[in-house]
């Protein structure tokens, strides 16, 4: 049976990623609830290894009222044929929205460091018949993005979980297509009815400064989300 170029690319990429992951899987995440070790490290190291447990939170229908997933994806400027990476994809909450936005011919890389999450995301994609969603088991310091191929990277409620962010995002520049952009959505640093406590959050000004130091520039920000900021960056050429 003939496969579309996008589907063939997805299968090849998935095979390469999973082959690598079988050799070197990420170490267990350690819980460190009292802060971080450096100014550019995660504000908290927390385990998300129980996908079924976290699905009750991440996929709670009530989340749609404030997360506005359709509006988030629409604001990313996606087009059919694009490659989009969902970094920290978790249980695949955004998968069907991203899949539809880049179809036909596009691909969604659902990236996470937790094997349980990646397995759950893959099973969800198969159940929902999202043939262009590729689950990717990454390392904490390497999302395994293909060189110069990624049109958008979506990072929702995950930026503050990353360590050594300056190096992480400096290297990410090499994965971006000529029109590639990174979209960061995270919680405002104040008490909110959802999300982590304020001490685990990062102010959008701090995020912007870090990204600038890593070689990115803020090109747009949106304020349609009630509890989160929405920042769009592109690499400094």
User: According to the model, what pLDDT value does residue 41 have?
Assistant: 85
Q: How confident is the model at residue 39 (pLDDT cuts 50, 70, 90)?
A: confident
Q: Tokens for 214?
A: 């890593």
Cα 53–Cα 144–Cα 33 angle in degrees, nearest 5? 40
Q: Is residue 155 part of a domain?
A: yes
230 belongs to a structural domain: yes
Element (DSSP H or E) covering residue 127: helix 115-127
CATH of residue 181: 3.40.50.150
Has residue 148 been placed in a domain? yes
Highest mean pLDDT among 19-33, 45-59, 196-210: 196-210
Is 12's pLDDT higher than 50?
no
pLDDT for the residue 162: 95
Place of tokens 């709670």: 60
Angle at 102 between CA 125 and CA 135, to 5 degrees: 30
Mean of the pLDDT values across residues 6-24? Answer: 37
Q: What is the total count of domains within the chain?
A: 1
Q: Report yes or no on 39 lying in a domain.
A: no
Boundaries of domain holding 125? 71-186+199-237
Higher-confidence residue: 136 or 36?
136
């Amino acid at each position: 049976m003939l496969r579309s170029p996008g589907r063939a690319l997805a299968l090849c990429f998935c095979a390469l990623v999973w082959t690598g992951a079988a050799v070197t899987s990420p170490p267990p995440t350690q819980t460190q609830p009292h802060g971080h070790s450096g100014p550019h490290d995660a504000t908290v190291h927390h385990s998300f290894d129980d996908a079924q447990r976290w699905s009750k939170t991440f996929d709670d229908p009530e989340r749609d009222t404030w997360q506005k997933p359709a509006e988030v994806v629409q604001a990313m400027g996606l087009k059919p044929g694009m490659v989009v990476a969902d970094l920290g994809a978790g249980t695949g909450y955004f998968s069907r929205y991203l899949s539809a936005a880049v179809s036909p011919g596009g691909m969604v890389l659902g990236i996470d460091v937790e094997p349980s999450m990646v397995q759950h995301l893959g099973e969800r994609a198969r159940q929902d018949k999202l043939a262009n969603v590729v689950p990717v088991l990454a390392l904490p310091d390497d999302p395994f993005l293909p060189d110069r191929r990624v049109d958008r990277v979506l990072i929702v409620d995950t930026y503050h979980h990353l360590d050594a962010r300056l190096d992480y995002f400096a290297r990410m520049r090499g994965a971006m297509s000529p029109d590639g952009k990174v979209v960061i959505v995270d919680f405002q640093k104040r008490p909110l009815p959802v999300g982590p406590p304020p001490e685990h959050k990062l102010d959008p000004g701090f995020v912007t400064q870090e990204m600038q130091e890593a070689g990115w520039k803020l090109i747009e920000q949106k304020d349609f989300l009630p509890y989160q900021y929405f920042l769009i960056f592109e690499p400094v050429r």
